[in-house]
Structure formats: C-alpha cells, structure tokens
Amino acid sequence: MRVAYLGPAGTFSEDALEVSRFAPEDFHPMACETIPAAIEAVAGGDADRALVPVENSIEGSVRPTLDSLIEQADRVRIAGEYDHEIRSALIARSGIEPDAIEVVISHPQPLAQCALFLRTEMPRAEVRIASSTAAAVRDVAMNEGAWAALAPSRAARLYDCEVIREGIEDEPGNVTRFLWLAPSSAEDPDGIDGTGRGGRWKTSLAFAELGADHPGALVEALLEFSDREINMVRIESRPMRRELGRYRFFIDIEGRTGEAPVDAAIEGLKSKAEWVRILGSYPAG
C-alpha cells in the first residue's frame, strides 16, 4: 500500500506515519513536497492512502489541509484520525553554538508552536519558512552559516546534524491531529482495518452559502444537529476566497452517515446551505 505524506524523510508527518495504529505493516511511504500534493496523490490514484495534519493543540487548524479537502471532496474521503504528540528540537550543524545562531528555519506550524521560545531565547535570530521541517534541516545541513532548524530530533540523524535543545514547544502536551485519507471509492464500512466496529464515530462536513445574510443564519443551520441531539465537537470557518465577508464552515459531529439522525440532519442542513460536502465518516481517535 502506497501512503503519501508531507516529506522529505524526517518530518513530523513521517514520525506519525511510523507509529500510527492505522499504518499497514508493509506500506510504501511516498514523500510529497506539500500537503496538497499528498492529498492530490490519493485523488489521482498515485497513492492508496495519505496521512496529513489537520489540527494542532497550540496553533489550531492546518489550513492547506482544510482547503485541499474541499477541492478534492469528490475523490477523497477521511477514513480515520490519529493524535500524535509533537516535540520540537532546535537542530544545527556540529559545532554551532546556540548564541551564534543567526537564522532559524522551519515549517510555519512549528515556528508558531515555538514562538515563545524564539522570542525569549533567540530574539536576534532571523526566522525563515521552509516547505517542511525536514526540508529545513536539510537546508541547515547544506548551509555554511550559523543556521538552525525546528524539527523532530530524528531529523538531525538523517541529515548529519546535532540536537541543541529538545522539547522547545511553548506548551507541554503539544499534540497534532492527523487524518487518514482514502479514495472516495474505497470500500471500508467499518473504518480502516475494522477499527471502528462497535466504537465511536465522527463525521466531518463542510458547507457554505446560507442564503441571504440575516441574523441567526448559522445558528439555524446548526440547529439541524442540536435538535436531533447530535453533538458537534468542532467548528471552524474559512474564507470562500472570492470576496471579503463570505465563509465556508467545517464541522465535526459525533455519529456516522447511515444512522437515521445523522442522515436527517445532513438533509436538513442541505435545505439551509447552497452546498454541503460530506468529507468522511470514520472511527473517532
């Protein structure tokens, strides 16, 4: 089984892939340059599954994942979720002293998760963005200057660098929620490997365009769930990207499609919104 993830080797996504309970025993990891590329690999048939980050306990949602899920909703579905503890390390080439570091580079998510550390411990260092944590360490290894990266500690071994500080995230218990994605056509009624059989389920939805703007439009849409005693565990808005002030909404609810209350609520939501997309029903992590 080919599993796409945000590469190259040494990212937090690869860390999660190695230990996820959903990972098949003999999977073939397929490193992608971006999160959208990993999702598109499943949509286009180049990968059988993808593991992508969607939410962090410190920094919140991973926006490229949400936007790509909307774009590929007809071809990709969420098939599972996995919570992975994130511990960031400050990594540099051998012989670089912390006080000498001039540039710190990483993916935007770790930079945000370690913002307090950067402000208080490295106020003079320039912060730069990389496409992934592993790409950041690779850049550090190839640069002769006093550069450092924020990345998983295992990335230091992969790129012949050293860990200067570990556990530098701003809050303890830093956790990222990852999503397992599968082709929409893949049959998996009990969740990945049957892990959802008899357990709790979630359903993720996106919707937008609640008719003419009026007070309480969003509340009226969400009443379709509360009136049926369906618990909503997450909601987020994202811009429609067409004009200012127009949004699409992402929600996670308890339950799965095929259950009468959930199906009825979704039908009710369709009467309130111009479009509704079911992103997937899957075993709760």
pLDDT digits (tens, 9 = 90+) for 78-135: 999 999 988 899 999 999 988 899 999 999 989 999 999 999 999 999 999 999 999 9
Give CA–CA dist 109/58, Å, rounded.
9
Give CA–CA dist 161/96, Å, rounded.
10
Q: Which residues does the chain have with pLDDT short of 70?
A: 21-24, 188-198, 212-213, 245
pLDDT for residue 196:
60
Give CA–CA dist 219/221, Å, rounded.
5
Within its chain, how far is the Cα of 210 from the centroid? 27
pLDDT for residue 244:
74
CATH topology for the 89-166 domain: D-Maltodextrin-Binding Protein; domain 2 (3.40.190)
Return the SS3 of 132: coil
Each residue of 220-242: pLDDT tens digit?
999 999 999 999 999 999 887 77
Q: Can you give the three-state secondary structure of 50-65, one letter per residue?
A: EEEEEEECCCEECHHH
Distance set, CA 227 to CA 179, 257, 270 (Å)? 28, 17, 15
Q: Within a 10 A sphere around the Cβ of 243, how many other Cβ atoms? A: 7
Mean pLDDT for all residues in the chain: 90
Helix count (H) and strand count (E) of the chain? 9, 15
CATH superfamily entry for domain 2-85+174-182: Periplasmic binding protein-like II (3.40.190.10)
CATH topology for the 200-283 domain: Alpha-Beta Plaits (3.30.70)
Q: Which two tokens stand for residue 3?
A: 């599993």
pLDDT for residue 195:
63
| Contact indicator for 105, 118 with CB cutoff of 8 Å | no
Q: Within a 10 A sphere around the Cβ of 245, how many other Cβ atoms? A: 7
Give CA–CA dist 20/22, Å, rounded.
5
pLDDT for residue 280:
95
Domains 89-166 and 200-283 alike in fold? no
Helix (H) or strand (E) holding 172: none
Per-domain boundaries in the chain:
2-85+174-182, 89-166, 200-283
Helix (H) or strand (E) holding 75: none
